[in-house]
Amino acid sequence: MTFEELDELMGGGLVEADWHQHPNGKGWVQNTAHVDVRALVTPDAIVYQSATVLGDVRIYGTARVFGWANVRQLAEVYGNARISGYADVSGSAHVYGNANVAVCAKVFGDASVSGDTSIYGNAQIFGRSSVSGDAVVLGGAWIFGGAQVYGGAVISGDAWVCGQADISGDARVFDFARVCGTSRLFGGAWVYLNATADSVVLFGDSRLF
């Protein structure tokens, strides 16, 4: 991508002296950001504002890292993913597709975030867990272990989804609820307040609280 193309993509008004192409991959980096020389930033990827990229990170496709976000260690950000705010992506985590990780959210370990998902607030995605589809994780929610959250599921509040739990459809887990073991939630099922769902199956309009 040329500087002129970058300027157009970013809405115009950029000053070329404020930007440089990263030596490993030729992606554009604003001078206010920091990218380790050993990180990969390919031609259509952009790192800007006060973002930091450390270690053997790979940023490719049309991905963007901006704000005060940190991407570090062996993490990969690709596709059309966006990492912003004070978000932190680390370990061997993968963020891709059209996923957005923002505010103070963290994705680490071997976790993956993909599709059209939004991870924000103080949410944490870690272990070998995955969030995909149109799922949303926000507040202080944690997704960990080998849990999978996908479809249009929403996990919020201080909820935990862990173990081998599988949350999909329009399911909701919120407040201080815990969903663990081999639990499956789908359809319009809700688990909330202080409820614990351990290796159960809930679907339709089921409510556990």
pLDDT digits (tens, 9 = 90+) for 188-206: 999 999 999 999 999 999 9
Average pLDDT of the segment spanning 107-121:
98
Burial 143-178 (b: 16+ CB within 10 A, else e): bbbebbbbbebbbbbebbbbbbbbbbbebbbbbebb
User: What is the average per-residue pLDDT within 80-106?
Assistant: 98
pLDDT grade for 96, boundaries at 50, 70 and 90? very high
pLDDT of residue 95: 98
Per-residue pLDDT band for 110 (boundaries 50, 70, 90) equals very high
Q: What percent of the chain has pLDDT over 70?
A: 100
